[in-house]
Structure 1
Amino acid sequence: MSYCVNCGVELESSSEKCPLCHTPVINPNELVQMERASSYPKEKGQVEVVKRKDLGIFLSVVLGATAASCALLNLLVFNHSMWSLLIIGICIILFVLAIPAVIYTKLPIYLSLLFDGIAVGVYLYMIAYLTPSDEWFWRLALPIIALITLLVELFTLLIRAFPVSFVTTALYIFAETAVLCVGIELLIDRFLYRSLGLSWSAVVLTACGVIVIALITLLSKRRLRDEVRRRLHF
């Protein structure tokens, strides 16, 4: 036997409402189940992920507007020098860096690295355009950029073509560091003194050479390699 919780009228077992005040009849067991149930929805809401295409359009518009605004300011207001080339060059570099990340993700990594090197070269050329002489760009900056781009391309090729480990990665880094330092010093000597010679890069070459020989020996001896990995936990 049950009674209405509002007016106290006796209710029949099949009643869904109180015949007097029309208050809904609630089963106590259903009330317990409702209390146990979570007050939060079962499905989790999720903010819509920003599409790469939309992000690419946004970055392109922002960088393009920045470059165009600075160019107009340079031409119409602050026209004492071509300072806008520096900002336009930075916008070009940022746009090129954003291409493989958000604009065109299927771009081959080798082509992307080449574009990065070209973008840096264009920016330095804009700086050279603002200087009295651009000889430093053609004889020093451009060869260094080409050397760095080539070494980065080679490092990427080695990482992707051969099995990667801590030892092999260290081997590539030390070997390319030696080549880079020697190349930079030779290019500087050629630009400043018209002659070639090694000084500080010889120290780097010697240190890196010893490390490279040690790493090659480690890679060639499997038992030694396994022992070093076990002790150093890599």
Structure 2
Amino acid sequence: MSYCVNCGVELDADLQKCPLCHTPVINPSELKKMERPSSYPHEKGQVEVVKRKDLGILLSVVLGAAAVSCALLNLLVFTNSMWSLLIIGICIILFVLAVPAVIYTKLPIYLSLLFDGIAVGGYLYMITYLTPSAEWFWLLALPITALVTLLVEIFTFLLRTFPISFITTTLYFFAEIAILCVGIELLIDKFLLKPMGLSWSAVVLTACSIIVIALITLLSKRRLRDEVRRRLHF
């Protein structure tokens, strides 16, 4: 025995509509076969992805136009100093940084990092045209840039060669921070013609050494390492 879902009147088995309110009679077993209209469109819209080549062309044009415009302004209008070298150097650095990302993605990472260091060194050399002497560049800026580039290359090599984890990455980081600070202080002492020795970098070296020794201990003791990972959730 069935009843109308609208008015509740008793229905015969062969009726297609309710005789009282004319509501269609639907068999519950056929509800699954009925298609329900979706609240969302069936077709997914998607913005067309910008090609790397087009993005590289756009970036090159923008940086090139900025460099050329500043150079012309420097030569024709604001001729008091060679300030445009600062803008041109920044444009060169941004272009070199963008090469492996949008222009030539197959460039080896070590070569890319080397080019980055060369670009930064070139930018610092351009600044020498705005300073009375270039001695600071050859004795201080260039060696520090070379040291940073070398340390970044070594850091990248370690991450790509050995198993990566939070502990090992932190170990490499603090070890290189110590080397960098010691190298910077020694280079500053040499530039200032002072006796080469450690002062402020000794504090950094001590702190980093403690951290490095602790991390090496964690890596050598598996049970301790696993316990620290569980407690710190990494």
For Structure 1 versus Structure 2, the TM-score category normalised by the shorter chain is 0.7 to 0.9
* CA distance 1:220–1:40, shift in 2 (3 Å): closer
Partners of 1:191 and 1:197 lie apart in 2 by 13
Computed over aligned residues only, the root mean square deviation of the Cα atoms, in angstroms, reads 2.2
Question: What does residue 89 of structure 2 align with?
Answer: 89
Secondary structure in structure 2 of the residue aligned to 1:201 = helix
What amino acid does structure 1 have at the position aligned with 2:43? E
Partners of 1:39 and 1:173 lie apart in 2 by 52
Partners of 1:168 and 1:34 lie apart in 2 by 59
* CA distance 1:36–1:221, shift in 2 (3 Å): closer
How many Å apart are 1:214 and its aligned residue? Answer: 1.2
* CA distance 1:162–1:39, shift in 2 (3 Å): closer
What amino acid does structure 1 have at the position aligned with 2:203? V
What amino acid does structure 2 have at the position aligned with 1:99? V
CA deviation map 1:156-205 (0-9, x unaligned) = 00001000111101110110010000000000000013431100000110
Map of 1:83-232 to 2, 5 A cutoff? 83-232=83-232
Q: Give the unaligned 5+ runs of structure 2.
A: 1-25, 27-32
CA deviation map 1:133-168 (0-9, x unaligned) = 000000000000000000001000000100011110
Question: What does residue 10 of structure 2 align with?
Answer: none
Q: State the percentage of identical aligned residues.
A: 84
How many Å apart are 1:56 and its aligned residue? Answer: 0.3
CA deviation map 1:93-118 (0-9, x unaligned) = 01001101111111111111111111
* CA distance 1:219–1:39, shift in 2 (3 Å): closer
What amino acid does structure 2 have at the position aligned with 1:156? T
* CA distance 1:76–1:42, shift in 2 (3 Å): same
How many Å apart are 1:40 and its aligned residue? Answer: 5.7
* CA distance 1:54–1:205, shift in 2 (3 Å): same
How many Å apart are 1:38 and its aligned residue? Answer: 4.0
How many Å apart are 1:36 and its aligned residue? Answer: 4.4
Partners of 1:39 and 1:205 lie apart in 2 by 63
Aligned length: 206
Question: What does residue 8 of structure 2 align with?
Answer: none
Secondary structure in structure 1 of the residue aligned to 2:99 = helix
How many Å apart are 1:129 and its aligned residue? Answer: 1.6
Question: Is 1:49 the counterpart of 2:49 in the alignment?
Answer: yes
What amino acid does structure 2 have at the position aligned with 1:88? I
Secondary structure in structure 2 of the residue aligned to 1:150 = helix
Partners of 1:194 and 1:116 lie apart in 2 by 31
What amino acid does structure 1 have at the position aligned with 2:79? N
Secondary structure in structure 1 of the residue aligned to 2:49 = coil
How many Å apart are 1:78 and its aligned residue? Answer: 1.3
